[in-house]
Amino acid sequence: MTKAFADIQSLFSGMPGPDLDRVAELERGLAALSSVAQIDKEGHVWARWYGSWSKGAVGVINQPVVALFVASYASDNFDIQQVSDFVSLHSRSGGLASYAATDAGTGLSLFELAPTLPFEPESEGLGEAMSVATMAYGMEACATGADLLALTSQTFGWDSHKDQVAKQILAAKGRQDAEILLAQAVGRDIPALMGAMAAATYERIPVLLDGDQAHLAAHLIYLLVGKLPGHILSVRRPSWFTHEVPAVLAQGHDGSVSGVDAALSVRLLKSKIAMTHDLVGILNA
């Protein structure tokens, strides 16, 4: 293992766990609520998850942010103007993701991963140093002031490579395979998402995952350290994120717009957590 990947291994291995004291306090309130009111099981799960991993007031989400990473893979129909227009439109608060974020009451931050320079997995790799540097850049998503972070990506040309990349990642057996893939097979989007997940754990920011790349990034973390960070939740599977990445990916659907599902999921999660917290507060008043 090179020093660059040794540092990453140490970063992911040292990710902190949930706040068990807050969990115990929240469990008492939820148990009392369940005895006198109709149970919203999903709301309870989300409230418990958010309380376990956040550092703010239990049940209060003040500044959710959708972090949208923009990258590209080489493809026959790659259009650099389309990429530039996407970035320009969203920088001016246009685009579907911007509208969805505004409607959901969440912020939207764009992170460009050299999208006008498409990655060519058949002829090049990022290399270890660039892969680690890209992870470090991804960590900037946690500098947005978010107390809930939704991670997703708009990767142009992804459809031409997603089957191959997913197959390679899901066939990998452990840390060494994961390191090879990071250095040789995946583009800039996946390591950036991995870096954002790692930083969010240390900053105690709960994370929603949206899109193939975000789920594959979580799987690579699992391969590196043998466990998934507990602070992540899947938009596609609205429950605790279990290590069933192939099943989660199978639920993907063509035609989805990057950032839209993430923003709408933020709105639903925020509402259910607030409702659960308010009911517990009324009961304890």
Nearest CA among 185, 50, 177 for reference residue 131: 185
| Domain 61-264 part of CATH 3.40.50.10210 | yes
For residue 240, what pLDDT is reported? Answer: 41
Burial class of residue 271, CB neighbours in 10 A (0-12, 13-18, 19+): middle
Q: Does 248 score more than 80 pLDDT? A: no
Nearest CA among 85, 40, 53, 185 for reference residue 127: 185
* Distance between CA atoms of residues 231 and 248, nearest Å: 17
* pLDDT higher at 44 or 232: 232
Domain regions of the chain by residue span: 61-264
Nearest CA among 138, 196, 165 for reference residue 74: 165
Condensed to tens digits (0 to 9), the pLDDT of residues 199-238 reads 999 999 999 999 889 999 999 998 998 888 888 888 776 5
* C-beta neighbour count of 183 within 10 angstroms: 20
Read off the pTM: 0.89
Q: Widest CA span of the chain, in angstroms?
A: 64
Condensed to tens digits (0 to 9), the pLDDT of residues 80-124 reads 999 999 999 888 877 888 989 999 999 999 999 999 999 988 777
Q: Does 258 score more than 90 pLDDT? A: no
